[in-house]
Amino acid sequence: MSRSIFGRLFLSHVAVILLTTLVLGLFMSYLVRNHAVRTKQSDLLVKGRVVSQLLAPDLRQGRVPSAEQLQELEQLAGATLWLIDREGRVIAGTPPNRWAKAFPEAADELSALFAGEAQTWVRTSRRQTDRSIVVGIAVPGANPQTAVLLYASITGVNKAAQAVEKLLLYSLGIGILAALAFALVMARGLTRPVADISLAAARFAGGDYTSRTGATGDDELGRLGRTFNAMAEALAHAEENRRKFLADVTHELKTPVASIQAMAEALQDGLVKDTDQQHRYLGTIVGEAKRIDRLLRDLLALAELEAGALSIVKEPLDLGYFWHEQADRLAPLLSSKNLTLNLRLPNQPAVVLADPDRLAQVALNLITNAVRYAPAGSNIDVTITLSPPNASFTVRDYGPGIPAADLPHIWERFYRVDKARTRAAGGTGLGLAITRELVRYMGGETIAESTPGQGAAFTVTLPLAGHIRRS
């Protein structure tokens, strides 16, 4: 029990409660006993003054009271009573043993007593054999000088104190039980969320990716629980993406590998006799091999981007000059579908800070995507816009467009709007994902817009070189 958080919390609460109760009990016991002693002391002083007044008439005339008179006064005062002279000798009454032979206290106190100052001697220590209260009061006008002393044992005083202490003890006992119950509830309340989070984490570690904790209160443990749920959600999403990624890669590789295997086996077994057909089979094998190579290179590039291992070398780049170069480079791709690339340039140069090679890869991916969906003989527009502190270019085709439900997902790996058409066109499904990451690495952003039936537009925004240098 002491090794668990609950056990340590509960035992610490119990220790604090018991220590507090012990200190409080001792302090209250001291207060009660001290009050009882002070009350008895005051009571004896009052009664001593009354007794001295009653004895004064006889003592002024030199008459010592009889034993019977002293016994009556003792009953009246509730204390042992005796008389002493100025030397401290007993002249009447029967004092306790300690006071019987000689005055046991200091001589200056005896002198002060006969000077008219009432004296009190309190002996309450357990180490003292005669635990008692004694008060002494001089009898006014006595001849010779006489003082009356009253004695009360502290044992009698303790009875009232013990009764109060017993009541206090019962109250403290009930308080301890209530406090222990409260400590149990508090410890349970603190450890229950921890146990719930621990159980949820154990289930999650065991493969239950839907496991979440219900400990989501407003305190620190609640914040921990919400953080765990957010982490579990992210990990579950990452695991789902990992499985989907593996399934997609397997699916993408399965078709070309199967095609290569089937045609290679047919050629190996001599099933294909016609020379033209053999050349077609070999051309298909080479094409599928290239497709696998493109897929692997795209996967490697995406992995480097996501790992932050891709080298980006930024330099000032004029977007107008850049796109004139790309138009020449991409002419064979455009001519395959008799497409026309229209460049719309701003009135002044748009010089951005970018990596020319990586931006060329972005341009290739976007133009390839536009060519894939643009109708044969149509246009592809590239519009450069200058909007300090940024500049942007937009690649627009006039194909079927992208449905609104698919638009948020087009940046995901292997996501296809038209799966059959994309596969037939030879795409890997990674181009747009790579494009977005490359632009992000260059400090820009990519936005896709589309109206179904009216084509799609992809806008890349990059910071102007001059603004970057000034900042």
User: What is the average pLDDT score of the chain?
Assistant: 82
Question: Within a 10 A sphere around the Cβ of 411, how many other Cβ atoms?
Answer: 15
Q: Once rounded to an integer, what is the mean pLDDT over residues 166-186?
A: 74
Residues 354/393, Cβ–Cβ less than 8 Å: no
Q: Once rounded to an integer, what is the mean pLDDT over residues 323-350?
A: 91
Question: Within a 10 A sphere around the Cβ of 178, how many other Cβ atoms?
Answer: 11
> 321 and 301 in one domain?
no
Q: What is the spatial distance between Cα 333 and Cα 326, in angstroms, rounded to a whole number?
A: 11
Q: Which two tokens stand for residue 144?
A: 């010779």
183, part of any domain: no
Percent of the chain whose predicted confidence (pLDDT) is above 70:
85
Is 257 a residue whose pLDDT tops 80?
A: yes
Q: What is the spatial distance between Cα 20 and Cα 26, in angstroms, rounded to a whole number?
A: 10
CATH number, position 41: 3.30.450.20
> 240 and 118 in one domain?
no
Range of the domain at 15: 5-161
Q: What is the spatial distance between Cα 102 and Cα 121, in angstroms, rounded to a whole number?
A: 15
Residues 64/93, Cβ–Cβ less than 8 Å: no
Q: Once rounded to an integer, what is the mean pLDDT over residues 288-302?
A: 74
Query: Model confidence over 18-74: pLDDT tens digits?
Result: 777 778 777 877 787 788 788 888 989 999 999 999 999 988 888 888 888 889 888
77, part of any domain: yes
423, part of any domain: yes
178, part of any domain: no
pLDDT in the model for residue 78: 86
> 328 and 265 in one domain?
no
pLDDT in the model for residue 302: 67
* Residue among 233, 236, 234, 214 nearest 225 (CA): 214
Of 161-165, 249-253, 272-276, 414-418, highest mean pLDDT: 272-276
Of 323-327, 371-375, 407-411, 448-452, which range is least confident? 407-411
> 440 and 352 in one domain?
yes
445, part of any domain: yes
pLDDT in the model for residue 128: 56
Q: Is the dihedral of CA 9, 14, 15, 16 positive or negative?
A: positive
Is 422 a residue whose pLDDT tops 50?
A: no
> 326 and 286 in one domain?
no
> 13 and 33 in one domain?
yes
pLDDT in the model for residue 470: 37
> 434 and 335 in one domain?
yes
> 269 and 149 in one domain?
no
Q: Once rounded to an integer, what is the mean pLDDT over residues 250-269?
A: 78
Of 470 and 403, more confident: 403
pLDDT in the model for residue 40: 84
Write down which residue in 161, 188, 206 finishes a domain.
161
Query: Model confidence over 375-388: pLDDT tens digits?
Result: 999 999 999 999 98
Phi, psi dihedrals of residue 320, rounded to the nearest 5°? -65, -50
Confidence of residue 164 (pLDDT cuts 50, 70, 90): low
Confidence of residue 6 (pLDDT cuts 50, 70, 90): low
Write down which residue in 285, 307, 329 finishes a domain.
307
Cα 81 to the chain's mean position, in Å? Answer: 73
Confidence of residue 424 (pLDDT cuts 50, 70, 90): very low
CATH number, position 391: 3.30.565.10
In three state form, how does the secondary structure of the chain look? CCCCHHHHHHHHHHHHHHHHHHHHHHHHHHHHHHHHHHHHHHHHHHHHHHHHHHHHHHHHCCCCCCHHHHHHHHHHHCCEEEEEECCCCEEEECCCHHHHCCCCCCHHHHHHHHCCCCEEEEECCCCCCCCEEEEEEECCCCCCCEEEEEEEEHHHHHHHHHHHHHHHHHHHHHHHHHHHHHHHHHHHHHHHHHHHHHHHHHHHHCCCCCCCCCCCCCCHHHHHHHHHHHHHHHHHHHHHHHHHHHHHHHHHHHHHHHHHHHHHHHHHCCCCCCHHHHHHHHHHHHHHHHHHHHHHHHHHHHHHHHHCCCCCCCEEEEHHHHHHHHHHHCHHHHHCCCCEEEEECCCCCCEEEECHHHHHHHHHHHHHHHHHHCCCCCEEEEEEEEECCEEEEEEECCCCCCCCCCHHHCCCCCCCCCHHHHHHCCCCCCHHHHHHHHHHHCCCEEEEEECCCCCEEEEEEEEEHHHHHHC
> 112 and 85 in one domain?
yes
Q: What is the spatial distance between Cα 366 and Cα 357, in angstroms, rounded to a whole number?
A: 14
Q: How many residues does the chain have?
A: 471
Of 175 and 424, more confident: 175
Of 266 and 316, more confident: 316
Q: Once rounded to an integer, what is the mean pLDDT over residues 417-446?
A: 73
Q: What is the spatial distance between Cα 232 and Cα 211, in angstroms, rounded to a whole number?
A: 8
> 330 and 282 in one domain?
no
Q: What is the spatial distance between Cα 370 and Cα 381, in angstroms, rounded to a whole number?
A: 10
246, part of any domain: yes
Q: What is the spatial distance between Cα 19 and Cα 12, in angstroms, rounded to a whole number?
A: 11
pLDDT in the model for residue 101: 74
pLDDT in the model for residue 255: 67
Write down which residue in 161, 182, 199 finishes a domain.
161
Cα angle value 74/80/82 (rounded, 5°): 90
Confidence of residue 469 (pLDDT cuts 50, 70, 90): very low
Pairing verdict, β 146-153 and 80-85: antiparallel
192, part of any domain: no
Query: Model confidence over 178-235: pLDDT tens digits?
Result: 777 777 777 677 777 878 888 888 888 888 878 888 877 777 778 888 888 888 888 8
Is 468 a residue whose pLDDT tops 70?
A: no
CATH number, position 243: 1.10.287.130
> 420 and 457 in one domain?
yes
> 253 and 135 in one domain?
no
168, part of any domain: no
Is 423 a residue whose pLDDT tops 60?
A: no
Of 33 and 443, more confident: 443
Q: Give the total number of structural domains in the chain.
A: 3
Contacts of 427 (CB under 8 A, 6+ apart): 368, 369, 372, 416
pLDDT in the model for residue 386: 92
